[in-house]
Structure 1
Amino acid sequence: MKVGIDKIGFYSPKFYIDTSDLAIARNEDPNKYLIGIGQKKQAVIPNTQDVVTMAANASYKIISHDDIDKIDLIIFGTETGVDNSKSAAIYLQNLLSLKSSARAFEIKQACYGATAGLQMAKEYIINHPDKKALVIGADVARYGINTPGEVTQGGGAIAMIVSSNPSIASFDGDSTFHSDDIMDFWRPLYSTEALVDGHYSNNVYVDFFKKTWKEYNDKNQLSIDDYSALVFHLPYVKMGIKGLRAVLSEATEDKQISLKNEFNFSKTYNENIGNLYTGSLYLSLLSLINESSNLKYGDRIGLFSYGSGAQGEFFSMKLEKSFKNAKSINDLNNLIANREKLSVEEYENIFNQWLPIKNIDIDLNWQRDDSTFFLKSIKNSQRIYSSRLEEK
């Protein structure tokens, strides 16, 4: 029996900033951001969107009535949770009117949370092949105005339905993983902005990839020739390039060219959205599937997941017959193309309106947010969510 990803949905808000404009405002050469970091555009997240609403907007696009009947596991990977106790998955379950006879919980391990959820969902569906699981990777990446990490901000949500007999990709054997207690990236409880040792984090990322890559291939008697493409966790594009370069020497010249070409397809969405933390790897997978014209049924795709602090995992999936979805391609291309470009000043104003970590009552300007689901207000320390479906 095959188990894997049956559907993938994506959402990011309608605002973005051009990184060339950001570079000029920060007195930097635009190529430092465009080439040195590998980012063209960056999503800007208004305070009417958080991980719950973005996850709901991503999920709503792909969930059918049949899915609602069968989803009884909801796993929410995020490092931008809205409560230290109540999981984002419970809010999501209510917003999407999913059945209450379900397990719903949140996972946190930096950018690795969605992968942990995906692997848990895999095991669950193996034992319950008539059921489905909804796995979320949703985050808002914030480093602060005029900081070294500013160009690697962004945000959005990936929603994946895991099932037996999947349409997109099936798991291909057991994964390999490695963890260690290190301080390359963290976000203290008192802060909405992350702290990072960028150079150290880059080195650990590549080290974890090489370790899990070798162990996986040794374990499964595979080589680089057995992969049609490799996709990476992409907090920014250049990080994935460093990972790919670490193993290219194992391939022939023709294979190197092929893998580089497929990587270019896999980075298209990420370089226009920015950092999704838990969703970055799966946005890269979605970009590869939608953008590449070279892939075919049965191709093996290698995936490397990394979460600072740190956890790394490598696994592979094989593409199924219906992995190419014209509606998904059209919807996502429209989402990216029809966003509203902000000036640097407008971006800074929105960034500074992000809700602080303190007890406040506030009514938000939700009327400007045309998303299906949005955050309407905070009253008595409770988040009040709503939707266009209710407001009509």
Structure 2
Amino acid sequence: MTAVGIDAIEIRTGKLKLDLAETFAPAKEEDPKKYTKGLGLEASSFPDTYEDIVTMGANAAKRLMDRKGLVPDDIGRIDVATESAFDNSKPVSTYIAGCLEDVYDGDFHHANKGERKFACVAATQSVDDAYNWIRAGRNRGRAALVIATDTALYARGDPGEATQGAGAVAMLVDEEPSLVEISTEQGYGSADETDFLKPNQQFPSVDGKRSVKVYLARMREALEDFETVAGRTHPDGFAYIPFHTPFPGMVRKAALLGFRHMTRNTDIEDDLEGEIGRQPRQDDYEDWDAYEDAIREYMDLLKETDRYETWYNRTIDPTLTFSRKVGNWYTGSVHVARASALKTAAETGRALSGERLLVGSYGSGAQAEMHAETVADGWREEIEALDFKEQLSRRYDLSFEEYGRVHDAHNHEKERELEEFTVPSGEFVFTGWGRMNERTYEYVE
């Protein structure tokens, strides 16, 4: 069976930066550690006045196509995943295709285009759609372009304000991929939840504590479901485990739960028995509350063990490096986590070809998906082509007052004129509105 997976990836961050420790925390009169230690975040990315979900997605896609030497005829479908869409009819993929057609010979008139919505899991679902399209033999030898693009903004003063972010991830899904081959096996955890939603409003309504619980519950269900088709998982069976990362602090919780689950009835549980005892078994307790208390006590001990810390530092922490510096990108977050891990491996000289990743995607509302990926032989060349760190270093550092004005400028409910902070060059930019109130764009040399 021909391998199908992600052949290439490009990332585009918003050009503005809000430093949480140096700028946000002092303005809020709060301890910077609330953000750097508690949430695990250092900074957030924001779009400049001429940037939005279309420009970020189109710029990531153009760089990917240029680097791979692609033309429109090579692309058979363009799927955009976003929860920041500004039109309830016309998909963002058509805007992005229009931008790209302005700079390439040829067009995407025979490419299928769509827009996926299921909160942050939508980009993984779009990758699944592309995978299935190729597997079904409907691609005619062409590849799929999947783009995750979002501006994750919250109302000023909202508890989620510190986790904001903006950026896009473009992925090329194709046969014989250079980056990762995607497994046939998948696991799902899904339920009707109201932990995070945007009912015809720009800024989300969030129940923070419930959202964390739902995230962890659906992730557990997805892992258990994955194991029914792929077999038992083991912590040492994966080089990295990228999770959806609304903020790194949530991933710390998910990782601990996952480690406990994967080590149950294994050599690792046996090795740790003398140090912290064996995991509680429900049959040993009279009621659920007593069992849950015992589980929490066990996990408090587990996270302090050298065995767990070593595994976490090797398998989880490298996936969080990029997210710490950019905040939540909604649909792109888990794909940023994958890129972060692979970039770390390349920089440290780690050999990864043939190694496996376990990818945990999640979207509020709520659904989680687990699937495995096998790192392909060409991964190092692909991941070293990313210029993401250079993009981060070039961001404009906002003052708190400037941040407020940028936030207002991207608030659809307000009319604000704001001069750009950076100068566009070699990129697509937002230019205004057309005759039917559509957003318009052009390429700036």
Please state which band the TM-score falls in when normalised by the shorter chain: over 0.9
Do the aligned partners of 1:45 and 1:351 also contact (CA within 8 Å) in 2?
A: no
Q: Secondary structure at the residue paired with 1:46?
A: coil
Q: Which one of 74, 94, 99 corresponds to residue 95 of structure 1?
A: 99
| Unaligned ranges ≥5, structure 1 | none
1:244 aligns with 2:248: no
- 1:8 matched residue in structure 2: 9
- 1:333 matched residue in structure 2: 389
Name which of structure 1's ranges 9-18 and 365-374 shifts more when overlaid on structure 2.
365-374
Do the aligned partners of 1:230 and 1:259 also contact (CA within 8 Å) in 2?
A: no
- 1:95-174 equivalent positions in 2, closer than 5 A: 95-97=99-101, 98-128=107-137, 130-174=141-185
- 1:1-392 equivalent positions in 2, closer than 5 A: 1-20=2-21, 21-63=23-65, 64-66=68-70, 68-97=72-101, 98-128=107-137, 130-189=141-200, 191-224=201-234, 225-249=236-260, 250-251=262-263, 252=268, 254=307, 257-292=310-345, 293=348, 294-325=350-381, 328=384, 331-357=387-413, 365=419, 368-370=422-424, 372-380=427-435, 381-389=437-445
Higher relative helix content: 2
Q: Secondary structure at the residue paired with 1:267?
A: helix
Do the aligned partners of 1:266 and 1:287 also contact (CA within 8 Å) in 2?
A: yes
Do the aligned partners of 1:228 and 1:295 also contact (CA within 8 Å) in 2?
A: no
Separation (CA, whole Å) in 2 of partners of 1:83 and 1:47: 19
Name which of structure 1's ranges 9-18 and 325-334 shifts more when overlaid on structure 2.
325-334
Q: CA deviation at 1:363?
A: 8.2
Q: Secondary structure at the residue paired with 1:298?
A: coil
Q: CA deviation at 1:67?
A: 5.1
Separation (CA, whole Å) in 2 of partners of 1:282 and 1:330: 13
Q: 1:28 to 1:365 in 2, by over 3 A?
A: closer
Q: Secondary structure at the residue paired with 1:261?
A: helix
- Measured against aligned partners, the alpha-carbon deviations of 1:201-257 in whole angstroms (never above 9, x if no partner) come to 001111111111122123211322322211100011111111101022334365762
- Measured against aligned partners, the alpha-carbon deviations of 1:35-58 in whole angstroms (never above 9, x if no partner) come to 100100101223321111110011
Do the aligned partners of 2:143 and 2:174 also contact (CA within 8 Å) in 1?
A: yes
Q: Secondary structure at the residue paired with 2:5?
A: strand
Q: CA deviation at 1:364?
A: 7.4
Separation (CA, whole Å) in 1 of partners of 2:71 and 2:322: 26
- Measured against aligned partners, the alpha-carbon deviations of 1:299-327 in whole angstroms (never above 9, x if no partner) come to 11001111101111111100001111377
Separation (CA, whole Å) in 1 of partners of 2:411 and 2:46: 14
Q: Which amino acid aligns with 1:285?
A: R
- Measured against aligned partners, the alpha-carbon deviations of 1:319-362 in whole angstroms (never above 9, x if no partner) come to 0011113774551111111211111111111111115258x8x9
Instruction: Give the TM-score normalised by structure 1.
Output: 0.93
Q: Secondary structure at the residue paired with 1:53?
A: helix
Instruction: Give the TM-score normalised by structure 2.
Output: 0.82
Q: Which amino acid aligns with 1:378?
A: W
Separation (CA, whole Å) in 1 of partners of 2:361 and 2:386: 27
Do the aligned partners of 2:78 and 2:111 also contact (CA within 8 Å) in 1?
A: yes
Separation (CA, whole Å) in 2 of partners of 1:280 and 1:179: 19
Q: 1:238 to 1:369 in 2, by over 3 A?
A: same
Separation (CA, whole Å) in 1 of partners of 2:74 and 2:158: 45
Do the aligned partners of 1:364 and 1:377 also contact (CA within 8 Å) in 2?
A: no
Aligned residue pair count: 386
Q: Which amino acid aligns with 1:145?
A: R
Separation (CA, whole Å) in 1 of partners of 2:119 and 2:145: 19
Q: Secondary structure at the residue paired with 2:149?
A: strand
Q: Which amino acid aligns with 2:119?
A: A
Q: 1:263 to 1:47 in 2, by over 3 A?
A: same
| Unaligned ranges ≥5, structure 2 | 102-106, 269-305
Separation (CA, whole Å) in 2 of partners of 1:366 and 1:24: 25
Q: Secondary structure at the residue paired with 2:380?
A: coil
The percent of aligned pairs where both chains have the same amino acid is: 29
- Measured against aligned partners, the alpha-carbon deviations of 1:246-297 in whole angstroms (never above 9, x if no partner) come to 0223343657623432321110111101110000000000000011233511
Q: CA RMSD in A?
A: 2.0
